Structure 1
Amino acid sequence: MKSRRKTVNPIGLNDITIVDDVKMRKAITAAALGNAMEWFDFGVYGFVAYALGKVFFPDVDPSVQMIAALATFSVPFLIRPLGGLFFGALGDKYGRQKVLAATIVIMSLSTFAIGLIPSYASIGIWAPILLLLAKMAQGFSVGGEYTGASIFVAEYAPDRKRGFLGSWLDFGSIAGFVLGAGVVVGISAVIGEEKFLDWGWRVPFFLALPLGMIGLYLRHALEETPAFQQHVEKLEQGDREGLAGGPKVSFKEVATKHWRSLLTCIGIVAVTNVTYYMLLTYMPSYLSHNLHYSESHGVLIIIAIMVGMLFAQPLIGFASDKFGRKPFILFGSIGLFFLAIPAFMLINSGQIGWIFAGLLMLAVVLNFFIGVMASTLPAMFPTHIRYSALASAFNVSVLIAGLTPTAVAWLVESTDDLYMPAYYLMVFAVVGFITAITMKETANKPLRGAAPAASDIAEARELLVEHHDNIEQKIEDIDSEIAALQAKRELLVQQHPRIN
């Protein structure tokens, strides 16, 4: 039986995607706004956790109230992997744009619904049950939100600017968090704590509906990504891999063939989100409940830290296009390990300046991670399974990271050790370090399974030359391996009496 040799045409200038600047800016804006919507809720929830504890869990002591409210925050992360599997399969089958339009609708409606739930005093046990159901609906939609948005931006971005453009996705995350925290502080300052506990805490959740409508409008007007369009065109030309009946590669096959990418994704997301939730969700409660620091002052410090992070975020993304993604994850992990205890020594000092410095140390480390995550993760998987594989790996690790506020609050209460958060961060810093030294660099390279992408024709010519140079280098490496194997063969032949 004769085997057919597959013919592959040489890649020419016409095969390189020239990215439309207008479409690219619209894609980034729509993706970042949806992500801001997600983190607006996280910001609001983190900063009103003390109020929600009193409203929905009034019959327990303050420590248990806080842990219960944070547990309600963490439980939806159990649902996120299901949402990731569901929306990931749809994203690989029908396209990224349609799925992102659906996730923002579910997310905005479920967030809005939290503001409508009556208190425990009004409907008893049904109040925390309804809160949990609304949070689970959020978790299901968010399971496909960040991964879809990061893929959308990555597949639109030119290869040489993917780090900078991807960083704006998490710029939206931080901006949403700042907006959520700012709204909570503003409402509380205007109406006072008593009215805020009575009804004011509901207002930030009501704002999710108009924000979601704006995000839906922007996403509905978007075109599908160039990489996915190329994938569809290949299928129409007879390439059987990928689309017709959904992803053709099962998760078992993904785990077998792409296990290195899966582990790398899980490691990066775990260390990033543990640091994220520690700093931006748990720390407001830690400052007020454990350190007995003024709630308003603690919130203002966190907001100031996040505003600084906004300015640093695009700079990290830009630098990663010059120096690579790997150095930032490596140095971020090292910094997290060695700075965690000093940071909490400053935070526990009781002096506002030192508290700010300690939080700033953690924020700088966090910027190293989130500045490159959105550009790193989508580059690990080929187009036809990118959404499914990334959503699965991302949400498995977020499931672990999402337990951070609850787990750390419980550890501190159980041990009376205010440095438990630092030890917790150090454990995940080791995970980040191992991930960084084993991962492959993805900066300035085409996405797997996609054609090179350039900003203009001049850059396309440069990419073509680099692509051909890379092929030549690979051929030379293969020739060297063949020569080494041939020499090894000759040595073995000489040791055998009957083989010439």
Structure 2
Amino acid sequence: MSNLKKDDIIVVDRKAAKQTVFVTSLGNAMEWFDFGLYAYLAVTIGKVFFPEIDPAYQLIYAFATFAIAFIARPVGGLVFGMLGDRIGRKKILSLTLIMMAASTVFIGLIPSYSTIGVAAPILLLFARLIQGFSTGGEYAGAMTYIAESTPDKRRGFLASGLEVGTLVGFTSSAALVTLLTYILGPEKMVEWGWRLPFLIAGPLGVIGFYMRSRLSETPAFMALEEAKEEDRHRASLKEILTNHWKPLLICLGVVFFYNTALYMVLTYMPSYLTEELGYGETKGLVYSLLVMISIIPIILIMGHWSDRIGRNKIVIGALIGNIILGIPAFMMMGSGNGLIVFSGLFILGIMLAAFQGVLPATLPSLFFTKVRYGSLAITYNISTSLFGGTTPLIIAWLVSMTDNSMIPAYYLIAACIVGLIVVSLFVKETAGRSLRGSAPTIEDQSEVDEILKNPVQALWWKEEEPAEMHIEAPYTQNSPAKTNIK
């Protein structure tokens, strides 16, 4: 591969790449719509399933059930990730979507505690575990799929579309919950209204499954399938842990600060504004909803600029921003003035948008194609389970124990200090470069000569490849199935 040839270079059709991003992101939006419903209905769910608990602790119990699902995420990541590296990304992404939809509908059908007693929270726990299991394979798979289907020079911008899907899913669930709460009122929401959003997941899941089933495999995975027999070895979990421990640890560190910020802003803030700052359920949801809508274009802008100036610069800038502005932002949220409250939340949203616009392209670049899905799914979900999904629970508990509403700011700052160390010292720049160990990917034939003149830049991680690994066979211009939409 050191003697790079013209036919080695992967040419991705621009229209097909955009369609791939759209379909994958739309499916991701549907999945996170399902997952986000629980977070935005946490206060109501606490009343429905834990009515015997002191009201002051109902939210903690509800978030505990939310966090429990993250126990299943590493298991789902291991199972679906390893399968994705063996049988393909497309099949797994279709399966995870339909599993999430089915478990979400099931939550909407569970009788309340007043009807079947303790069996109600047990069934809720079971459904949440299934949600966590399916999510374990979803997000890492979607990141992998988009990264392997997009050209090197535009991967940041196109991959940021995945996080737009995440925001659209969260925003849709927040908007629906807000609308229902406004129309029905808190009492009817507790009585029966909370079920409606969960039941909508059924038809959405069917639509998403159909759209994803029409995707074809990624060029990188197809190249692996077409490789010589000796190069088609699929790494075991032991081999991944032995030969790829360094990128695994780096990924754990990055996901730690990323998901701390993500789950704090997207899942904890509505309850924080309602329960801790006393703004009322509808107002707390509206503030969060407006911020999520506002940062969608910022995510795309960050992705675009990451392709131009580099991904690490943007991430480091956002980490420093959180460290400096974290406390002022939370002080603004506690001011009681609507505009100032929104501004404080928006500051956190901008920093999160920087992470969301850049990291979906950075994380898949840490791993080789033959272990990318499995390695990313395992590490992403372990870190998310330990530090992301537990963020609302830990912060809610710390606030209740200390009666200090600034605890979330301190928690966020601590996570970002760790992130600053990890990114500054261990994360290499990935902008404009090929995926690890893979041939260059372009969207225009005019780029071929430029790549051939500077193959070291295109194959910048080749020298780090473990001795027992082999670089993937190129997905050449003569290979079949050049598009990603049938």
TM-score w.r.t. structure 2 length? 0.92
Q: CA deviation at 1:92?
A: 0.5
- For residue 419 of structure 2, the aligned residue among 392, 412, 432 is 432
Matched, 1:157 2:135: no
1:175-217 C-alpha deviation (Å, 9 max, x unpaired): 1111000011111222222221111111111111111111111
1:141-176 C-alpha deviation (Å, 9 max, x unpaired): 000100000000000000000000000000000011
Residues 344-363 of structure 1: pairs in structure 2 closer than 5 A:
344-363=330-349
Contact 1:262 1:389 in 2 (8 A): yes
Size of the aligned set, in residue pairs, is 461
1:470/1:73 Cα in 2 relative to 1: closer, same or farther (>3 Å)? closer
CA distance in 2, matches of 1:124, 1:447: 52
What's the secondary structure of 2:216's corresponding residue? coil
CA distance in 2, matches of 1:449, 1:112: 41
Contact 1:18 1:460 in 2 (8 A): no
Match of 1:142 in 2: 135
CA distance in 2, matches of 1:271, 1:157: 26
Q: CA deviation at 1:426?
A: 1.2
- For residue 405 of structure 2, the aligned residue among 418, 423, 445 is 418
CA distance in 2, matches of 1:111, 1:189: 23
CA distance in 1, matches of 2:199, 2:73: 23
The one-letter amino acid paired with 1:258 is: H
Q: CA deviation at 1:469?
A: 6.7
Match of 2:230 in 1: 239
Contact 2:261 2:352 in 1 (8 A): yes
Q: CA deviation at 1:301?
A: 1.0
Residues 300-315 of structure 1: pairs in structure 2 closer than 5 A:
300-315=286-301
What stretches of structure 2 of length at least 5 have no aligned partner?
464-486
CA distance in 1, matches of 2:63, 2:456: 53
Match of 1:339 in 2: 325
CA distance in 2, matches of 1:418, 1:443: 39
Q: CA deviation at 1:27?
A: 1.7
Match of 1:404 in 2: 391
Match of 1:222 in 2: 215
- For residue 467 of structure 1, the aligned residue among 452, 455, 461 is 455
Match of 1:166 in 2: 159
CA distance in 2, matches of 1:140, 1:357: 36
Contact 2:104 2:198 in 1 (8 A): yes
Match of 2:246 in 1: 260
Matched, 1:82 2:75: yes
Contact 2:439 2:459 in 1 (8 A): no
CA distance in 1, matches of 2:438, 2:131: 32
CA distance in 2, matches of 1:350, 1:422: 17
Match of 1:489 in 2: none
CA distance in 2, matches of 1:333, 1:356: 21
CA distance in 1, matches of 2:323, 2:12: 40
1:9/1:363 Cα in 2 relative to 1: closer, same or farther (>3 Å)? closer
Matched, 1:95 2:83: no
- Identity %, equivalent residues: 45
Contact 2:110 2:120 in 1 (8 A): yes
Q: CA deviation at 1:253?
A: 3.3
1:321-376 C-alpha deviation (Å, 9 max, x unpaired): 00111112211111111111111111111211211111011111111111111101
Q: CA deviation at 1:22?
A: 3.5
The one-letter amino acid paired with 2:293 is: V
What's the secondary structure of 2:267's corresponding residue? helix
CA distance in 2, matches of 1:333, 1:229: 37
CA distance in 2, matches of 1:126, 1:214: 32
The one-letter amino acid paired with 2:336 is: G
Match of 2:484 in 1: none
The one-letter amino acid paired with 2:221 is: F
Residues 471-482 of structure 1: pairs in structure 2 closer than 5 A:
none
Aligned-residue CA RMSD (Å): 1.8
1:389-409 C-alpha deviation (Å, 9 max, x unpaired): 111110111012110001100
Matched, 1:457 2:445: yes
What's the secondary structure of 1:207's corresponding residue? helix
CA distance in 2, matches of 1:148, 1:27: 13
The one-letter amino acid paired with 1:387 is: Y
Contact 2:451 2:458 in 1 (8 A): no
Matched, 1:322 2:296: no
Contact 1:230 1:450 in 2 (8 A): no
- For residue 108 of structure 2, the aligned residue among 115, 121, 139 is 115
- For residue 279 of structure 1, the aligned residue among 251, 265, 270 is 265
Matched, 1:17 2:10: yes
What's the secondary structure of 2:43's corresponding residue? helix
Q: CA deviation at 1:52?
A: 0.5
CA distance in 2, matches of 1:176, 1:42: 9
Matched, 1:65 2:58: yes
Which has the larger displacement, 56-65 or 221-230? 56-65
Q: CA deviation at 1:239?
A: 2.6
CA distance in 1, matches of 2:414, 2:62: 25
Residues 362-377 of structure 1: pairs in structure 2 closer than 5 A:
362-377=348-363
- For residue 443 of structure 1, the aligned residue among 427, 431, 435 is 431
Q: CA deviation at 1:9?
A: 7.2
Match of 1:210 in 2: 203
Matched, 1:33 2:26: yes
Contact 1:26 1:222 in 2 (8 A): no
CA distance in 2, matches of 1:278, 1:374: 19
Match of 1:181 in 2: 174
CA distance in 2, matches of 1:381, 1:90: 16
Q: CA deviation at 1:257?
A: 2.8
The one-letter amino acid paired with 1:52 is: I
CA distance in 2, matches of 1:464, 1:336: 41
Contact 2:18 2:158 in 1 (8 A): no
Which has the larger displacement, 271-280 or 16-25? 16-25
Contact 2:65 2:125 in 1 (8 A): yes
Contact 1:91 1:388 in 2 (8 A): yes
Contact 1:287 1:293 in 2 (8 A): yes
